[in-house]
Structure 1
Amino acid sequence: MIVVGGAGRQLKLLSYNIQAGTSTGRYREYVTRSWRQVLPNNQRVANLDSIAELVRDYDIVALQEVDCGSLRSGFLNQAKYLATHAQFPWWSHQGNRKVGIVAHAGNGLLSRIEPSEIEEHRLPGAIPGRGAMVVRFGAGEKALWLVVLHLALGRRARAQQLDYVASLVRSYPHVVVMGDFNSGPGSREVRSFCDKAGLVRPGEPVLTFPSWQPQRAIDHILVSPNMQISELRALPVTFSDHQPLSMTVDLGDDVALPGHSGSDQNQYPTEYSS
């Protein structure tokens, strides 16, 4: 893992919709195995353990569809579980959509760099339950701003949500937006968002969904144009119905971050709260 601190260095980033720890192998399983979305099962913990092993080499991990502690997860906060087992010193979560005690979906953050500030935003839309985490690392003009989000299924709602996020970050010089956009890079709403927020989508579209035979590029990592990308790829694993999207980014000398913490088996992860 590449150390960051002082002047900007490379960061290894991962964005992953983990489907609350449930894998899917074909479209019909959304119906035939739908019970796994509301009831606990042994496969879920096994998948989380595999995901923890997968993410431990990254500096910052943005999670979508984490369960924040409900019946289906055995009342386990999955972001905390992954931080503990992958030995991340910092973690946070944003609970967005709660269905009684049965399910509590949200976004999550795992980080080896201590956040300086985290804001939770409820995204607009006719159907509530979508959110974005806005995370600041460092201070002043050299800070890095990172957004973790999961957008709606409907195009109109996605456009409203992206307009809202653009209004939050358009004035910041160093921004990374990571998440499940539920739309492709050529969609009107994503192109408009990049223009309004001053961001770029580096490289060719990367197919991430469905994980068993990727056909759609709906997971994205968008960055400020002053950041250089040395790698962008999907990881060919099927622990979820999405494949994780991996990026290595060179922040340049204009970005300065707090100190970097490596893995430490004796260190218990700390939930960051502003």
Structure 2
Amino acid sequence: MSMIRVLSLNLQHGLPGAGAGDGSAATGSLAGADISDPATARAVMRATAEQIAELAPDIVALQEVDLGQARSGRLHQAAFLAEELGMPTCRFAASYAGPAVGLRRRPLRSALGSPTDDVFGLLRAAVGAGPIGYGNALISRFPVAGWHVKRLGRGPSSIVKRGERAWDPRSYKVFTASSRVMVAATLDLPEDVGGPARRLSVASTHLATRGSMAARQLAAAWAALAGLPGPHLLVGDYNLGAEQVEALGLGRTVGEGHTFPAADPTRRIDHVLTDLWPTGPDGLPLTDEAAVAAAGDGEAGSPLLRAVDWGTASFIISDHVGTWVDLEPVG
């Protein structure tokens, strides 16, 4: 039986980052590239796809993904990567519709696949402009049985003092929190891959930068994902450390390795979360067979995922390092 390899990567809208000049993939010429130029944006994304392909993932969870943004060459980044990778399953889910700088709004439908998915979509179409947004995406080589999107809300605005005069309103800047979203897919697994797991529900998300809000969003995302056919994988940029995720007791983190900042990673804030592995009365993990039975309340057909290998990988883009895990279904 083959392993299932899942990769999480925060694209940072395709901005060339710490890996652009490291010589690992003949990408030195792309360091500092202006990706607002469509040809350059495609070159950067094509080089990124080549680096992803070297890892041979089965599932790619993406965050900070642009669709039609001027700053990234008007590319549909998720669809472009899926095509370059030859992966037939692809879904983008917008955290917001609209430009990165300008009037943002909640999309009517997160895919932004047609003008009617955005309140201003028909107006944009009338002047020859396509959909525009920003969010998360999932790409996979496995066929999809169903898509699911969960909006996770936004945190409170914050006021930051930037000037010297405490009494001067101009010394303060208001930062509004971004909306957050989870996109999930229930995938059909080939028998030679899934073994006892005929389906797998996997999600990509990007949580708030404020820890308390990120924790609430993570709990909401996991609750929504857990209602889908298992086993389950919640993948993405949590903006939380490993100890913060584990303290919530929602699931079991798998994999390791620092992911941020890309130039000199010192923290792991990008995670892969899967179902808890049941323990016995002695507090020790159960054997495979007993764990599967316990996870299904004694019923068959409740497989779990066991991590067998993991690592991190630098890319020519982003201020994050990608993190990947090889998983084996047991049951």
TM-score normalised to the size of structure 1? Answer: 0.76
* 1:13 corresponds to 2:6: yes
Point out which structure has higher relative CO (alpha carbons under 8 A, 6+ apart).
1
* 1:183 corresponds to 2:240: yes
Larger Rg: 2
Structure 1 equivalent of residue 50 of structure 2: 53
8 A contact 2:33–2:40 mirrored in 1: no
Structure 1 equivalent of residue 16 of structure 2: 23
Find 2:254's aligned residue among 171, 185, 202. 202
Aligned-residue Cα RMSD (Å) equals 2.7
Point out the more displaced range, 178-187 or 220-229. Answer: 220-229
Q: What residue identity is the alignment partner of 2:246?
A: R
Supply the distance in 1 between the matched residues of 2:10 and 2:235 (Cα, whole angstroms): 11
Encode CA deviations 1:23-79: one digit per residue, 9 max, x unaligned: 2349xxxxxx99969x44765333211211122321110011110112112221000
**Residues 1:112 and 1:246: Cα distance change in structure 2 (over 3 Å):** same
Structure 2 equivalent of residue 156 of structure 1: 212
What is the Cα deviation at residue 109 of structure 1? 1.2
SS of the residue 2:265 aligns to = coil
Structure 1 equivalent of residue 162 of structure 2: none
Structure 1 equivalent of residue 41 of structure 2: 44
8 A contact 2:306–2:329 mirrored in 1: yes
8 A contact 2:13–2:66 mirrored in 1: yes
> How many equivalent residue pairs?
232
What is the Cα deviation at residue 21 of structure 1? 0.7
8 A contact 1:50–1:239 mirrored in 2: no
8 A contact 2:145–2:186 mirrored in 1: yes
Structure 1 equivalent of residue 321 of structure 2: 243
Point out the more displaced range, 41-50 or 142-151. Answer: 41-50
Q: What residue identity is the alignment partner of 1:234?
A: T
Gaps of 5+ in 1: 1-7, 27-32, 255-274
Structure 1 equivalent of residue 25 of structure 2: none
Supply the distance in 2 between the matched residues of 1:155 and 1:101 (Cα, whole angstroms): 23
Supply the distance in 2 between the matched residues of 1:66 and 1:100 (Cα, whole angstroms): 12
Supply the distance in 1 between the matched residues of 2:309 and 2:269 (Cα, whole angstroms): 18
8 A contact 1:178–1:222 mirrored in 2: yes
8 A contact 2:63–2:137 mirrored in 1: yes
Gaps of 5+ in 2: 20-30, 102-131, 156-176, 190-196, 278-303
Structure 2 equivalent of residue 261 of structure 1: none
Supply the distance in 1 between the matched residues of 2:40 and 2:320 (Cα, whole angstroms): 16
Structure 2 equivalent of residue 218 of structure 1: 269
Q: What residue identity is the alignment partner of 2:138?
A: L
Find 1:145's aligned residue among 180, 201, 209. 201
Supply the distance in 2 between the matched residues of 1:70 and 1:95 (Cα, whole angstroms): 12
TM-score normalised to the size of structure 2? Answer: 0.63
Supply the distance in 1 between the matched residues of 2:18 and 2:3 (Cα, whole angstroms): 34
SS of the residue 1:47 aligns to = helix
Q: What residue identity is the alignment partner of 2:151?
A: R
8 A contact 2:51–2:315 mirrored in 1: no
What is the Cα deviation at residue 182 of structure 1? 0.8
Q: What residue identity is the alignment partner of 2:314?
A: P
8 A contact 1:9–1:251 mirrored in 2: no
SS of the residue 1:94 aligns to = strand
Supply the distance in 1 between the matched residues of 2:48 and 2:316 (Cα, whole angstroms): 10
Supply the distance in 1 between the matched residues of 2:315 and 2:70 (Cα, whole angstroms): 26
Q: What residue identity is the alignment partner of 1:86?
A: L
Structure 1 equivalent of residue 108 of structure 2: none
